[in-house]
Amino acid sequence: MKTLITSLLLLTLPAAAEEQRDIEFNIGVAVLVMPDLSARAQFDGETLVVSSAKKEIHRGKLSKTDIAEIRKILGSAKKEEWSAYYFNIGILDGSVIRFTAKHGDKELDFEGWNGAPPGFHAIIALVNRKCGREVLHMPEEKTLLQAKRFRDKAEFEEYVRNLATKKD
């Protein structure tokens, strides 16, 4: 009986490891006015590594609960929202965000300037919680709601050119 239970347990371990590895992400946050606050987080499906511009801050495994939380956020993410370019016109300096993720066969990718899609703030909060302090800087939720979304970077750049040539 003990051998049967051990065999069944060993058979379930690879499946659990495969399920965990269906998520990968990279987050880069550059704080323009204070470059020392720039940071990066990488999760390869197993280990979360968070580093600043100068040193590694955190390295460790994510719990099943953390992975389930990320899986839920990424699973409910709307690709068209997470593929947009986010920009908060109300802030002239601040954070530039770059995010890429794989969740199963779904790939998400976005860039933002003081803005991000719904749910992204929860991933930042989880990473910061793992580090025991705020390492990845994000604007307040209220500024995220004000973020103007663009289909792509070309549309954003056209918008900025139009602002620059606009005469009062």
The C-alpha atoms of residue 155 and residue 168 are separated, in whole angstroms, by 22
27 confidence band (pLDDT: 50, 70, 90): very high
How wide is the angle at C-alpha 154 spanned by C-alphas 100 and 53, nearest 5°?
40
Task: Evaluate whether residue 14 is within a structural domain.
Answer: no
- Please indicate, yes or no, if residue 100 is contained in any of the structural domains: yes
Instruction: Give the tens place of pLDDT for each residue, 109-150.
Output: 888 888 888 888 899 999 999 999 989 887 666 667 677 888
pLDDT of residue 11: 35
The CATH number given to whatever domain includes residue 108 is 3.30.1560
Q: Are 42 and 99 in contact (CB under 8 A)?
A: no
Up-side HSE of residue 20: CA atoms within 13 Å toward CB? Answer: 19
In the numeric block, the tokens 């703030």 are attached to 121
Q: How many domains does the chain have?
A: 1
CA distance 141 to 130: 20
**Is the residue at 10 inside a domain?**
no
User: Model-level pTM greater than 0.85?
Assistant: no
Q: Residue 90 sits in which domain range?
A: 22-165
- Residue 55 lies inside a defined structural domain of this protein: yes
